[in-house]
Amino acid sequence: MHTLVAGAEWADDRVINEYLHLLGASTKMDAGEQPATGSAPAPKEEEGSPLSFQAVVHLLSGSAITALPDGPIVLEPITAEECEILIGLADPTKDPERGVTVFTPAVSFTKEGHRVAQRQTTSTGEPSLPDRLRPAIVAANCSGLPIPWHTKLLEGSLGESYAAKFLECLAAQDDATRFYMALAEVEHVLMPVLCQNAYVLSAKLVIDIRLVPALARFLHAGGDNFFEGLCILARRIDAPEIQPILEGLLHRWTQRFDLRVGSQEPDEAFLLWRGFARLSEHPRFEAIPDWPLQLEAALSTPMAWYRSQTIMRVLERDPGSYFFVESRLFKEANWEHYREDEVERLDRAAEALFGDIQDTSTL
């Protein structure tokens, strides 16, 4: 085979030669010859395995052999003295210069004097080892030591990205006390990021009544994405303390349909409707005072047919809405673009609600 290839015009082709090399190696393996042992790649830490204090020191000093795992990093419990050492080593001012620097010969004259070269540094933009370790170190700071560079990173131009990584490390640390302690320190920075990433983080963090005060302070903040995040977080808390939050969220949602304040039509605001779906799923939603009346008021405003059907599915859970469902049924008509027969669906709902009313009257 090698002889035939050597006589061809494409004998120097790199791909062909690599294939021949692999083919020859596999032939030797079939004959029972053991492959040569080359240098093995650097072992990678198992996903989710905590890093020890010594391992983090070696990584920050550049003397470590192991590679970091993918995803958020977790540290083993460390003492206050060890944490102080890591805080000092992870200071961004001590980071080595990243990127590739190129000096180009170019003579120029300035007020300060002449120049004979231009310096240009380019970077791939990938996070360095210190970049990935910093949020994990702060997450492991259970002693509450002050970290000046942590505050600067949160309030810097890339603060939102850093805050998201910090929250991921807190979730991976699986320490609810540490999470709420960190949230109290920089609530104004972490709460917006937590709401924007609520779908993922709410399943990883311990969300309980300790979050209720923060939810109350941010109840009317942000846009529709913020509203959706608040509804997702509130959905995770099933306790009497969450009731005022649910009432406030429903009021905020109904305000979007108030024609007196000139609210824009929210038909295409899918984040608003996704938030309402999470809110209506809460087991304490039906304990909100006059919630059916608030939904009926929203239905009285112009909206797309599929949005009104969403509200009707929620109202069908309330026995007191029987007459309202019957009135909608009387006015309803099916159209070809309906995914399901709406008349039949309303008829089933009215029949079920009427049965509930009968059962209640016989008690």
- Digit-by-digit pLDDT tens for the chain (363 residues) are 555 545 555 455 554 565 556 556 544 444 444 444 443 444 444 445 789 999 999 888 876 556 677 788 999 999 999 999 999 999 998 876 665 666 677 777 777 777 766 666 665 556 678 889 999 999 999 999 999 999 999 999 889 999 999 999 999 998 999 999 999 999 999 999 999 999 999 999 999 999 999 999 999 999 999 999 999 999 999 999 999 999 999 999 999 887 665 555 677 788 999 999 999 999 999 999 999 999 999 988 888 888 888 998 898 888 887 677 777 766 666 665 666 667 677 777 767 776 666 555 555
Q: Is residue 363 part of a domain?
A: no
Residues 277 and 235 in one domain: yes
* Domain C-terminal end among 170, 197, 224: 197
Q: How far apart are CA 310 and CA 7, in angstroms?
A: 74
Residues 168 and 273 in one domain: no
R_g over Cα of the chain: 31
Beta pairing partners, 51: 75
Residues 59 and 188 in one domain: yes
Q: Is residue 121 part of a domain?
A: no
Q: Which of 315, 317, 312, 319 is nearest to 356 (CA)?
A: 319
Number of domains in the chain: 3
Residues 60 and 138 in one domain: yes
* Domain C-terminal end among 149, 167, 197: 197
Q: How far apart are CA 148 and CA 169, in angstroms?
A: 19
Residues 26 and 6 in one domain: yes
User: Residues 47-65, buried b or exposed e (16+ Cβ, 10 A)?
Assistant: eeeebebebbbebbeeebe
Residue 186 contacts residue 151 (beta carbons within 8 Å) = yes
Residues 266 and 228 in one domain: yes
Residues 1 and 136 in one domain: no
Residues 240 and 187 in one domain: no
Q: Is residue 277 part of a domain?
A: yes
Q: Is residue 156 part of a domain?
A: yes
Q: Is residue 352 part of a domain?
A: no
* Domain C-terminal end among 254, 275, 290: 290
Structural domain containing residue 165: 44-94+127-197
Residues 161 and 259 in one domain: no
Residues 161 and 246 in one domain: no
Residues 87 and 160 in one domain: yes
Q: Is residue 16 part of a domain?
A: yes
Residues 57 and 178 in one domain: yes
Q: How far apart are CA 302 and CA 306, in angstroms?
A: 12
Q: What is the pTM of this model?
A: 0.73
Q: Which of 211, 233, 45, 65 is nearest to 136 (CA)?
A: 45
Q: Is residue 81 part of a domain?
A: yes
Q: Coil, strand or helix: which one is 120? A: strand
Q: Is residue 332 part of a domain?
A: no
257 φ/ψ angles, rounded to the nearest 5 degrees:
-105, 5
Query: pLDDT at position 36, please?
Result: 42
